Structure 1
Amino acid sequence: MSTFTKFGKSLILASSALALTGTAFAQDSTHKVDRVTPFHGVKDYRTWSVGAWGGGSAAFGPFGGPYYFNNFDFKNVGFVYGGYIKKQILHNFGLQADFMRGQVKGATKASQALTDIRGNAVTTGGINSFSTDIDWAASVSGVFSLGSINWLNKQSYIIPYVSAGAGAMGFKPTVTAADGTETKVLNSDGSHTHRAMYIPVGVGAKFNVARGVNIDLAYNVNFVNSQVFDGVSGGNKDKFSTARLGVEFAIGNKKKPQLAVVNPAAQLAMDLWDKNAALNNTIAESDSRNQSAINALKQEITDMKQDTDGDGVPDYLDKCPNTPAGTKVDGAGCPLPVPQIVKEKIIVTEADKKVVKDAIDNLEFDLGKATIRPTSYASLDKVASLLVEKNFSLKLAGHTDNTGSAATNMRLSKERAEAIRSYLVSKGANASRIEATGYGSTQPIASNKTAAGRQQNRRVEFTLY
């Protein structure tokens, strides 16, 4: 069993024990709603916290594909662990600095061809699995809480959240060939450690189990700006998922409540109850005074309780009066924002397809090279104009016949696709919307036994989307 495996299991067991202990604390009468003065800023709260976590990792996620390594079972689960420090800025927003280490593993039923970062073949029989050690990963994320207001209870015990951020990592990928041979995937300078930026995006929930103690359950997808995180160079940038369980401790004065779990609506209500009690005492002590003064105090109490729009926020605290019935509001009575997602619709017309077909028909290269002949420029210029005008994306797939070695054919098909991509970019096309891939002689469309068939197999396919 690897060091990462032993550490991951130990950390998960420790987090589970802390969760059970925290549940017992939650039954203690000392775990009560803290009182603060409304609208006095964050000075009455604890806003800093630290946490530690452990969990599992996998070489797949919910956001698109294809995945080279998607044969998931528990043998392919890696273990990751880490810690964080967090600064809560508002009730529902904070900044969190994370550190992570661990391992990501994956396996596939079909062996994949492997090239290193320079495009050279690493194994001869394809690969069946990979294992990537994450030496370090550091990121900063914004954390948005979705449940800081609880209209059923004075205290928020379960707080769902989403997070997104950016960071950098150092990692070492190793692949296992079909014959069981392990190979380190190296950089162009021969070193094993790769470095890349990554974007962590996650969802989770925190369970407030004791004063200043939260159990943290989260799922993250990490988008790595590298094509060799999983050992396979080429295709889309890699990604991996982590599921983690941890414990978070608020730091600072223990007499102050934790800003992330305080229910602002309950704080306002308790402040209102205190004012009501004070006014009632004043009325009781003023029975002998002028009846008109007593009536005025009663009217003030009535006005403080009045909630004209029925949103749960008293009128005298409601900054957005007359909200429609059923509208969800924040602690100030203003409607909560509703996120909207706008999807771009891409339409490829027959005229667009004809421009691409003409480019394919007129495309010529120098024999055995990736040099585009000038006779192809005019039709390629039309494709570039089409990409600029309609903001299309384009996939270029290079193919060859079976003449020569497989490695030479793979390299030539990739270089020809890249040559076309470079030409289109030089004419103003968006480089991030053009994908160039080489398939060598692996996908023939005709027989390689005849000259005509080999001619058909030597091609570059254009796909608009």
Structure 2
Amino acid sequence: MASKKYLLLAGAMTLLAASPGFAQVKPSYDALDSSKVSAKNMAQFNSFRNHQSDYPAKPRNMWELGFHGGYHFIKGDVAALPGFGGGLSLRKALGHTFSIRGEYTGSFDYGLDYQKKVNTVGGAYNATANRNGFIVPAYKTATHQLSLDVIASLSNILFYKSQPKVNWYVLAGYGIMMADVDVDALDASGAAYNYSGINFGGKKKDIRDALKNLHDKKYEQNAPAQGNRVQIGRKDDNQLLRHALEVGTGVAFKVSKRFNIGIEEKLTLPFDDYLDGYTAGAYDGSKDFFSYTSVRLNFNLGNPNKRVEPLWWVNPLDFAYNELTSPRRMKLPQPVLPDADGDGVTDQFDREPNTPAGAPVDSHGVAKDTDGDGVPDYKDKQLITPTYCQPVDADGVGKCPDPECCKNIAPQVTCASLVLPSVSFKGSSTKVSSDMEAVLGSVANTLRQNPSCNVLVTGHAGAKGKKGGVDLSSRRVDAVIDYLADKQGIDRGRFIKQNTPGESSTVDLAPAN
């Protein structure tokens, strides 16, 4: 029976792995996307984006709701017949490797032995033993089980691929179960079964078929137990309450960003030898346990505009490898080449290798002479001398007044290089939190050092005209500007307000020049 089960399991896995649909899915996650970061992790996000931290913030990720069903049986002292189980689960990632799953499983398990056994349990089997001198155990076990498992994913951190399409995992956890164990020891008339017509020396299949025809499958009596029975409102007050250890392994195949199909094998060990209503005796050290081979249909729950897929489907190396191909955050080091005079032109191309420090040079390393008067710019006190005022003296000054159009023009301040952080709000709040006040304090310092730079303050009004979104977004934008103007003394005229669509709890700041 076990060999057929594993053959069926292998066939199902092969079919799922061969499906062409699994190769078409590529999840995306951008570590620089603030909309996927919770308010409590926004400070780390800003530190990472501004090169103050090497590690990105953990993104919000979806929950997984699962439905499962499959082959269930008890490995014990009595030969098992096919049973079945089913239930539902809820799973949440703790990180990219570990996750936690709560689960309910209901099951029906059956067993009918094919050989004579000594009546070591008494009770319901006494009449059968008195009549035949032996018993043939037959049972039905109905179980309700709640479990909490820790799952370790083995295949989502990939060095040679992007996102995982198959996820292998192992699990271990704790369960609490209620089991109702009943036995079929009497025939339809209420008398003990008579096994005199059964040839127990024949083939196993023939013995089993004869016993199936003899038994009425009523399971009319409570099975004996080693104690701890509690009334919970089911048949004959015959319920066992047991703690259990769970171990297992499984594999899931991604169909889409919202759905995956899994196959799992889980063993439940309640440390009880009466789950099949029979024990081999006091000297039998073995205990009964449950085996559950299930097919699982799993659905990811959550807003994709605010959450990424469950982290066991996200390869944490993907962002780092993409940075190597198309850098957006990475600071690239300057190449180190010989440059004796430090003018930025390497010695092999420098036509004037002894240019004084700080002197502006052209692409050949020659000191610049902007007005062509023979005096290099680093010595020229009149940088642009008209030709009609030349020749010039040793300081590069001509013999005519310096026209207005030729005065040195101070370089303009460049604001586009400024990097300003985002400000997050919790729920429907419009008040700047104490954490975000510290962030805005650093923004104010930057603006004081760059007095000519203006700021674009962008709020997000919600997707598809969400009711109240524009008003909430505007009030948050005003709260940020009020704090910078009233508390930090920044001129209100330097702010430009803007509202855009998008599901986000942040207000973004960016240079407007």
- TM norm structure 1: 0.49
Greater helix share, structure number = 1
Higher relative contact order (CA 8 A, sep 6+): 2
